[in-house]
Amino acid sequence: MIPGHGGYPGANTPLHSMILEGMRPDMPPGSFLNFPAPRQPPPQMQRTFTIRNDVNLKKGTLKLIRDAAKPSQYHVEFVFDASTDCRISVYYAAIEKTIEGMPTFLPLKEMTTHPTELRSKGLGQTFRTRASHPLDVSLYEPAELAFDPKLPQPRFPIVVCMEAGGKRNPDPTKVQSQTTFVKVIPGEGEAAFTAQPLKQKIQVGSTPYELQEIFGIDQHAKAGDGASSAEGGDGGDNSRECVICMTEARDTTVLPCRHMCMCSDCARQLRMQSNKCPICRTNIEQLLQIKISKQEAADDPAAPAAANATARGEATNAT
């Protein structure tokens, strides 16, 4: 052992001290080698607010039915819920424009627009376009029925607009309309055309919001109707319990992946320890807390309100 050198040559020298502190001799003071990057601030938690929506097209039911007598003609059919009288309009090969703060749809061929129909309130109603106003694919070039999202003003093959009330509601705090934008997919050879919903938007006053699916909110809604934990299985993605504590009900959604998988208490702890979604491991940008009362779930079993239990989705500003 060499006296004054901590047991080996070079110990306790300025160079030795710099190495222990993570510095290189050629780096200026204050620079560190392999020093971990500063930790990103934890994702913020936000509470939602409820917007009642009186009309809802169940997009999973939307389909095209081919006319048996005229193979080039297709009828649009879907199931909808309405807690008030409503008006339904269908447009073919239309672009969307905003006029005086309200959405307006301009079809490529004006005479093909389906007449607006007034429907009474009721759940589980079926709408089908009139035989006199089908989607006749023979009237359009293939490009005219092709949806191209890269265009500055894309044309949508089918647009279904449902407006709440017998006439326009000027109340800026209520949903005036729900619009479903649909893509038409041609079949090969003699195969029929099929419909694929692209997105849904609601109009609240002069502000549009796009509806996004929240995965797991269905199980949360069942918590208010007496559904047992056994109904959800083993606490996985299909159960209603928080995937972390396995006891409290889920009420917090991870953004942008939209998994509703945690209770608010576990979400608060997770945001300080990890930035990964417990379900898919996607980076967490925000945590959205959705408080749903049993009364809300019972009163409005199908309406897609913004951040409502019955919304089955999150509403984000679409402007």
Task: Decide if 253 is inside a domain.
Answer: yes
Q: For 40, how many CA atoms within 13 A lie in the half-sphere containing its CB?
A: 11
| Predicted local confidence at residue 9, as pLDDT | 54
Task: Decide if 235 is inside a domain.
Answer: yes
Q: Are residues 224 and 242 in the same domain?
A: yes
Q: Where is the domain boundary, 184, 213, 242? A: 213
Q: Where is the domain boundary, 179, 213, 247? A: 213
Instruction: Give the total number of structural domains in the chain.
Output: 2
Task: Decide if 7 is inside a domain.
Answer: no
Task: Decide if 86 is inside a domain.
Answer: yes
By C-alpha distance, which of 211, 51, 174, 55 is closest to 118?
A: 55
Q: Are residues 113 and 248 in the same domain?
A: no
Size of the chain, expressed as the number of residues it contains: 319
Q: Are residues 186 and 83 in the same domain?
A: yes
Q: Are residues 175 and 303 in the same domain?
A: no
Q: Are residues 134 and 267 in the same domain?
A: no
| Predicted local confidence at residue 58, as pLDDT | 94
| Predicted local confidence at residue 229, as pLDDT | 34
Q: Are residues 103 and 67 in the same domain?
A: yes
SS3 277: coil
Greatest CA span in the chain, whole angstroms?
104
Task: Decide if 220 is inside a domain.
Answer: yes
Structure tokens at 145: 């029925």
Q: Where is the domain boundary, 190, 213, 236? A: 213
Q: Are residues 241 and 262 in the same domain?
A: yes
User: CATH code at 275?
Assistant: 3.30.40.10
163 lies in which domain range?
55-213
Q: Are residues 161 and 244 in the same domain?
A: no
E strands present in the chain? 44-47, 55-57, 63-66, 73-82, 86-99, 102-107, 114-119, 122-128, 135-136, 155-164, 175-185, 194-204, 207-213, 252-255, 259-262, 286-289, 313-317
Which whole-number Å values give the CA distances from 233 to 89, 188, 239, 240, 267, in the listed order?
42, 41, 6, 9, 22
| Predicted local confidence at residue 43, as pLDDT | 64
Task: Decide if 34 is inside a domain.
Answer: no
| Predicted local confidence at residue 234, as pLDDT | 40
Q: Is the pTM of this model over 0.85?
A: no
| Predicted local confidence at residue 133, as pLDDT | 94
| Predicted local confidence at residue 194, as pLDDT | 94
Q: How many CB atoms lie within 10 A of CB 4?
A: 7
User: In the 3-class helix/strand/coil scheme, how is 232-251 assigned residue by residue?
Assistant: HCCCCCCCCECCCCCCCECC
Q: What is the pLDDT along the chain (319 residues), one digit of tens a residue?
A: 444 444 555 555 554 454 444 444 555 555 544 545 555 666 666 665 667 788 999 999 999 999 999 999 999 999 999 999 999 999 999 999 988 778 889 999 988 889 999 999 999 999 999 999 999 999 999 999 999 999 999 999 999 999 998 666 556 667 788 999 999 998 876 678 999 999 999 888 878 888 877 877 765 555 444 433 333 334 445 578 899 999 998 888 888 888 989 998 999 888 888 888 999 998 988 888 876 655 444 444 443 333 333 333 344 444 4
Task: Decide if 21 is inside a domain.
Answer: no
Task: Decide if 29 is inside a domain.
Answer: no
Q: Are residues 162 and 235 in the same domain?
A: no
